[in-house]
Structure 1
Amino acid sequence: MTHSYEDRIDRVTAYIYEHLDEPLDLERLADVAAMSPWHWHRVYSAMRGETAAAAVRRLRLMRAANELANSDASVEAIARRSGYDNLQSFTRIFAEAYGMPPARYRREGSHTAFNPAQNGAPTPHYAVEVRHLPAMTIATEPHLGDYMNIGMAFDRLFGRLGAAGLIDQSTRMFGVYGDDPSAVPVDELRSSAAATLSSPPAGLPVTTTRAGDYAVLRHQGPYADMRAEYNWLFGAWLPQSGRDIADAPVLEEYLNSPRDTAPSELLTILYLPLV
């Protein structure tokens, strides 16, 4: 029965990600879950740590932040795509979540610090540490498609590990990214949600991360802003570092969760594999 509930909630999570442009009321999501509309949202909240309505709002705003930072779409178009016909309502709700109105976020968000051509500033220097990482045993859940949607893989992974009692205080969360988003079509991007396991039980499929040197950069702020950081790492830091990039996935370690953390307070460590 537990697995049945996990499957239903996974189905709802995937539906939310794939239908953010459509109305997502509780009754429609209850139909997707094949559960009573009176009680299913309590099950979702208990298993996912946030209500379905909060998840829809968070994911729409996260996508909006990504479009503001990385596209030329108008604020009005982004607002409509996020489900807000009233621009003032979108502006207020976005500012509550991201600390500034959308137009200002596009001009002054943390992503602009990594784009000197945009803000006219000299090339910045950020603290990058070269660190040797040991191999880590991880459980993974694959994801194919837009990296910004990897959250649904994390939901599946932590639903599975949580049901098996394998999550504890020592668990670390990683994203494993195998493709260059500037060179691979977005629907073909390969990645995995991953979690470290201190003592995996027999029969659980696991893998290990690459042991070796990594360029390590700590990021604070919305996930959408990290694209500019990667451009700086590859285009400015790496050429002058004297190092070559290894043929291995990029790792991101997530130190907190967007479910209970403001976007401006999200902490992520980027690991760029080196030879």
Structure 2
Amino acid sequence: MTRHETSLSYAARIERVLSHIADHLDDRLDLDDLAAIACFSPFHFHRIFVAVTGETVAEAVRRLRLHRAAVELNRSRRPMSRIAAQAGYGSVAAFTRAFSTAHGTPPATYRRLGQDLRPAPPKAGMKTMTHSPALRTSVSYDVAIEDFPRLKLATLPHVGDYQKIGTAFERLSNWAGARGMIGADTRTIGIYYDDPSAKALGELRSEAGLTLPDGTAIEADMQWRFVGGGPVAKLIHKGPYADLDVAYAYLYHVWLPQAGRQPGEAPCFEEYLNNPRLLPPSEWLTAVHLPLA
């Protein structure tokens, strides 16, 4: 097997492990079991995992569990003790320390601010599709109108909760990285087709995308897509991906009516401006783009 073939094989095997971790965050994730999934010797598996992903298994599990916890804090009223236990912490105090380090704020504060910033729920008897609620607390983003260049992306489809599209990005990035296609100019973009308030989470359609060199032969379940090529409203969101619905609420409920612009025919897309594996969620930067007519 050549060095290139070995790299491709390693990426595919680690990809299986990452998918298993994402699907079994509530299970005991034993290194020997993960090594078996990757078909590596347990003596060497973890070093290979770190070499391919840039993080340890424990760091990957912690990152994914804390992301899920942030989503739970925003979406539910579940007791903090249950969220802490599901994230793998034996006490609320330990969970609070870990969450505060990652997200820059304690989970109780994060939940309170998140609930305050999000759109108020529709009143009884009012249809969600026709309701355009105001943000509960004043929140503001700087929005710029700019021409976005037409980009060609290799994409991997994802159906389901937008907050779980990370699995598709992990797979796409590992696939491209093993082929030496990711460089300083590579752009990471997600395309989002549906309004989460109008469809069940399991029906939401999205795609994880990367800009890849011309002539790249992609896999059968991947697709070529184009984004941009016209005016967009753009804002930069700093913070966890779990909070991006606040940015969308601002764009649609505040900025769009005030700007007097009409949305275009293309779906919204996001560009991820830094690496979530290297920085805490409080430092993640996402450019949200709303195509305009």
TM-score (norm 1): 0.90
**SS state at 1:127 partner:** coil
Task: Letter of the 2:78 partner, please give it.
Answer: A
- Among the aligned pairs, what percent are the same residue? 46
Counterpart selection for 1:49 from 54, 78, 92: 54
**SS state at 2:243 partner:** helix
Distance 1:120 1:164, change over 3 A: closer
Task: Letter of the 2:39 partner, please give it.
Answer: A
Task: Letter of the 2:77 partner, please give it.
Answer: D
Distance 1:208 1:35, change over 3 A: same
Counterparts of 1:107 and 1:272, CA distance in 2: 28
**SS state at 2:155 partner:** strand
Counting only pairs closer than 5 Å after superposition, residues 60-209 of structure 1 correspond to structure 2 as: 60-108=65-113, 112-113=116-117, 121=137, 123-197=138-212, 199-201=213-215, 203-204=217-218, 206-209=224-227
For 1:263, the equivalent position in structure 2 comes to: 281
Counterpart selection for 1:39 from 44, 51, 57: 44
Task: Letter of the 2:102 partner, please give it.
Answer: A
* Superposed structure 1 runs of 4+ greater than 6 Å apart: 116-120
Is the Cα–Cα contact under 8 Å of residues 112 and 118 in structure 1 kept in the other structure?
A: no
Counterparts of 1:208 and 1:243, CA distance in 2: 23
Quick check: 1:24 aligned with 2:38? no
**SS state at 1:38 partner:** coil
Counterparts of 2:201 and 2:36, CA distance in 1: 29
Counterparts of 1:22 and 1:194, CA distance in 2: 29
Structure 1, gaps ≥5 residues long: none
**SS state at 2:170 partner:** helix
Distance 1:9 1:120, change over 3 A: closer
Quick check: 1:7 aligned with 2:12? yes
Counterpart selection for 2:269 from 247, 251, 256: 251
TM-score (norm 2): 0.85
**SS state at 2:34 partner:** helix
Task: Letter of the 1:234 partner, please give it.
Answer: Y
Counterparts of 2:165 and 2:282, CA distance in 1: 19
Paired residue total: 272
Task: Letter of the 1:69 partner, please give it.
Answer: N
Task: Letter of the 2:150 partner, please give it.
Answer: A
**SS state at 2:265 partner:** coil
Task: Letter of the 2:262 partner, please give it.
Answer: D
Structure 2, gaps ≥5 residues long: 1-5, 121-132
Is the Cα–Cα contact under 8 Å of residues 187 and 211 in structure 2 kept in the other structure?
A: yes
Query: Over the residues paired in the alignment, what is the CA RMSD in angstroms?
Result: 2.2
- 1:10 positional shift: 1.2
Counterparts of 1:238 and 1:254, CA distance in 2: 23
**SS state at 2:61 partner:** helix
Can you list the C-alpha shifts for 1:202-224, whole angstroms capped at 9, x where unaligned?
54463322422111011111111
Distance 1:124 1:105, change over 3 A: closer
Counterparts of 2:247 and 2:118, CA distance in 1: 6
Counting only pairs closer than 5 Å after superposition, residues 203-218 of structure 1 correspond to structure 2 as: 203-204=217-218, 206-218=224-236
- 1:95 positional shift: 1.5
